[in-house]
Structure 1
Amino acid sequence: MAIGNHLQELHGLPTFDFPAADAEQAAALPAADAVAWRISVESYDSEESWPEAFARFAKAVDLGGVKAIVVGSWSDPYEEGSGPVIGALLEARDRLTALRALFLGDMVFEECEISWITQSDVTPLLNGFPELTEFAVRGGTSLAFPAVRHDRLRSLTVETGGLPAEVVRGIAASELPALTRLTLWLGTSDYGGDSAVADVEPLLTGGRLPALKHLALCNSEIQDDITAAVAAAPVVARLDTLDLSMGVLTDDGATALLAGQPLTHLSKLDLRHNYLSDGLRQRILDSLVPAGVEVDLDADGAEEDQDGDTVWRYVSVGE
């Protein structure tokens, strides 16, 4: 699956594309606090850098009222990392006093495939914006996330086709006492996703995430191992929703999940994009739906390829 649509909403606000430098502005801009502002430039051959576009934005919009920013493409995201973007935002942090939500790297496949988006160390944004409540980043190349403490962050999302183990370990070692939602797209080794179950296990104890209610460990080629670890994880008992979708989940992982701790306290279990047999799908439904759990299961599962005796299975989002 390729990402074909830009983010439509952030922080409960509809996204609005700040006009390009050469665009005719037919109407007045919305109020600063009425939308999530998407700021981007052409991915390649742009005559304007992202920091230059942001400088225009800062002159046109009252930064003190801006609640949410969606960073779209910067010029040549395949070759250049997000460092200059982060620098521009940090330079304006004293004026962005109302900023509560930030999405870094909202690019569709036509702009840059997810696994070719070059990122950088994104934690300066968390350190620079202590009032931030929502943070999301897309792209795993050169992504860094050393352990941090942030007392206000409630939602953290990292979308990749391959999430480096060092990043997983940094997130797992972070102190995020207010975090209620954590979403990690772990990806595949083909695109840098080299994490193992041991890297996510500190997240599964829940010790550093006392407020967590939604856990998503998705899009993994080791989804069976992740699911088996989740089946016995202490954090699950206090979750409201659990997402193990988008990966290579087979009957082995699903059997371990059913044999583990009760899941009937969940309001939702997301297992979309799976490689389960019809029998296992039905067992899951029979075990959880009567208890009031919403179970999201593909009717037919994901498609696998076979070459002789070799069966190929894929995560939902890779390249």
Structure 2
Amino acid sequence: MPNYEHLTRFAGLPVVEFTGRDTADNRFHEDREPAWRRGKRVLAQGPEPEEDLARAIGEPGAFAWRLRMEPTGLLPGTGERTEPSEGLGAYLDRFTGTVDTRTITALIIGKFPFISHHCSTESDRLRDELIALAPHLPRLRALFFGEVLREESEISWIGHGDLGPLLTAYPRLTELTVRGSDGLRLGVGEHRSLRRLTIQSSGISPDVVESIAGSSLPELEHLELWLGVEEDGAAAPDDLGSLLSGTAFPGLPHLGLRNAEFTDDWVRALAEAPVTPTLRTLDLSLGALTDEGARTLLSAPAFRSLERLDLHHHYMSEDMTERIHEAFTGAGVRVDISDRREPDLEGYEDEEEAWLYPAVAE
């Protein structure tokens, strides 16, 4: 699943992690010059993590950098993880002191174990520290904020505050991905460089959508919202009026309404929405599309004007899956119908009552 493993590539670059002192080989960090020289000798194929980091220090602009810190262990008798011995400020100072960050174009902010779940304090703290780092990252173009795995936190527990100031601090940013939408706001006003915006969530709220739709993003080409499940507060089609009407982002070429519990409802809304004929690609993947929604896809002319339609991870029958493939391929639309799922019938006799799960939920 998308939140089960760390990214190995981001923004077209291989990912390297700047390890916390507790997990790093201290000898490696004692002297930067030997690391630099050794980094030049490391082969590109299959390096050990330490060797990979050494190579990246020698050529920082060729990598996307992940910043994260792991807890050092468990408190006896509690099961609670302990904080790292190195503080956040010291970790970031070591990062900017070890790596020539002026050439970095892509950055991933992962898990920092300072506070409990369901709270935006950690996110706000990281946001403010990242804003302070802006002079050290003049070429930053792509940012993933909150790459937290399921083993570290359920996606619905990842809380954020207002990330609008973060966008303001990086006016040249072209790509932003945020994982977690609890409390999230993106009141940026205007950002003239952002082209790709992705919000990964198990339940994106109408407030989050409103804060995005209310922003002026004139260069936006790719908008991707992981809608999630009703139980986690997911927005419904009526909540995306300005987006579906095309007034929020006129001429938007790519729209992703992914990871939806009720994908069939979104298909019905999109069939009549003014935004659909203007799209080149539509991504409805990771959701719970059934034959009911597929019949709407087949009958609505608006979907035949697409260049690409992504439906992977769905609950269509085998027969309907083949019909969708034939119809859209015949219309010149590249369609992804992979990862067909079967309904979970445990405890149910009627398939219509069975649970249909989007890819990322609890």
Higher relative contact order (CA 8 A, sep 6+): 1
Equivalent of 1:72, from 88, 103, 110? Answer: 110
4+ runs deviating over 4 angstroms: none
Is residue 85 of structure 2 the alignment partner of residue 47 of structure 1? Answer: yes
TM-score for the superposition, normalised by structure 2? 0.81
Equivalent of 1:58, from 96, 102, 126? Answer: 96
Q: Deviations over 1:242-301 (max 9, x none)?
A: 111112222222222222234333232111122222332232122111233221113643
Alpha-carbon distance between aligned partners in 2 of 1:192 and 1:262, rounded to the nearest angstrom: 29
Is residue 74 of structure 2 the alignment partner of residue 34 of structure 1? Answer: no
Question: Given the superposition, is the C-alpha separation of residues 269 and 244 from structure 1 closer, same or farther in structure 2, using an over 3 Å criterion?
Answer: same
Cα displacement (A) at 1:117? 1.8
The answer as to whether partners of 2:226 and 2:259 remain within 8 angstroms in 1 is yes
Structure 2 residue aligned with 1:142? 183
Deviates more, 1:226-235 or 1:98-107: 226-235
Alpha-carbon distance between aligned partners in 1 of 2:176 and 2:230, rounded to the nearest angstrom: 25
The answer as to whether partners of 2:20 and 2:70 remain within 8 angstroms in 1 is no
Alpha-carbon distance between aligned partners in 2 of 1:103 and 1:52, rounded to the nearest angstrom: 22
Equivalent of 2:130, from 82, 89, 93? Answer: 89
Alpha-carbon distance between aligned partners in 2 of 1:271 and 1:65, rounded to the nearest angstrom: 37
The answer as to whether partners of 2:286 and 2:311 remain within 8 angstroms in 1 is yes
Question: Given the superposition, is the C-alpha separation of residues 141 and 50 from structure 1 closer, same or farther in structure 2, using an over 3 Å criterion?
Answer: farther
Structure 1 residue aligned with 2:332? 292
Structure 2 residue aligned with 1:311? 354
Which stretches in structure 1 are left out of the alignment for 5+ residues? none
Cα displacement (A) at 1:159? 0.5
Q: What SS class does the counterpart of residue 217 from structure 1 fall into?
A: strand
Question: Given the superposition, is the C-alpha separation of residues 169 and 97 from structure 1 closer, same or farther in structure 2, using an over 3 Å criterion?
Answer: same
Q: What SS class does the counterpart of residue 60 from structure 2 fall into?
A: coil
Write the mapping of 1:206-285 to structure 2, written as runs, cut at 5 A: 206-285=246-325
Write the mapping of 1:167-206 to structure 2, written as runs, cut at 5 A: 167-193=208-234, 195-206=235-246
Is residue 204 of structure 2 the alignment partner of residue 163 of structure 1? Answer: yes
The answer as to whether partners of 2:263 and 2:284 remain within 8 angstroms in 1 is yes
Structure 2 residue aligned with 1:121? 162
Question: Given the superposition, is the C-alpha separation of residues 15 and 239 from structure 1 closer, same or farther in structure 2, using an over 3 Å criterion?
Answer: same
Cα displacement (A) at 1:76? 4.2
The answer as to whether partners of 1:78 and 1:112 remain within 8 angstroms in 2 is no
Q: What SS class does the counterpart of residue 354 from structure 2 fall into?
A: strand
The answer as to whether partners of 2:313 and 2:339 remain within 8 angstroms in 1 is no
Q: Deviations over 1:195-240 (max 9, x none)?
A: 1112223112223323522111011122111111111222222322
Alpha-carbon distance between aligned partners in 2 of 1:231 and 1:280, rounded to the nearest angstrom: 18
Alpha-carbon distance between aligned partners in 1 of 2:188 and 2:207, rounded to the nearest angstrom: 10
AA of the residue aligned to 1:66: I
Q: How many residues in Structure 1 have an aligned counterpart in Structure 2?
A: 318
AA of the residue aligned to 1:168: V
Alpha-carbon distance between aligned partners in 2 of 1:97 and 1:267, rounded to the nearest angstrom: 36
Structure 1 residue aligned with 2:42? none
Question: Given the superposition, is the C-alpha separation of residues 205 and 49 from structure 1 closer, same or farther in structure 2, using an over 3 Å criterion?
Answer: farther
Alpha-carbon distance between aligned partners in 1 of 2:239 and 2:5, rounded to the nearest angstrom: 31
Q: What SS class does the counterpart of residue 169 from structure 1 fall into?
A: helix
Alpha-carbon distance between aligned partners in 2 of 1:258 and 1:35, rounded to the nearest angstrom: 43
Structure 2 residue aligned with 1:18? 18
Cα RMSD, aligned residues only: 2.1
Alpha-carbon distance between aligned partners in 2 of 1:103 and 1:2, rounded to the nearest angstrom: 14
Q: What SS class does the counterpart of residue 64 from structure 1 fall into?
A: helix
Aligned residues: percent identity? 39
Q: Deviations over 1:47-105 (max 9, x none)?
A: 23444322221111223222111001111464353111100011121232111110011
Which stretches in structure 2 are left out of the alignment for 5+ residues? 29-34, 40-53, 72-80
Q: Return the structure number with greater helix share.
A: 2
The answer as to whether partners of 1:178 and 1:211 remain within 8 angstroms in 2 is no
Of structures 1 and 2, the larger Rg is shown by 2
Alpha-carbon distance between aligned partners in 2 of 1:102 and 1:299, rounded to the nearest angstrom: 29
Cα displacement (A) at 1:191? 2.5
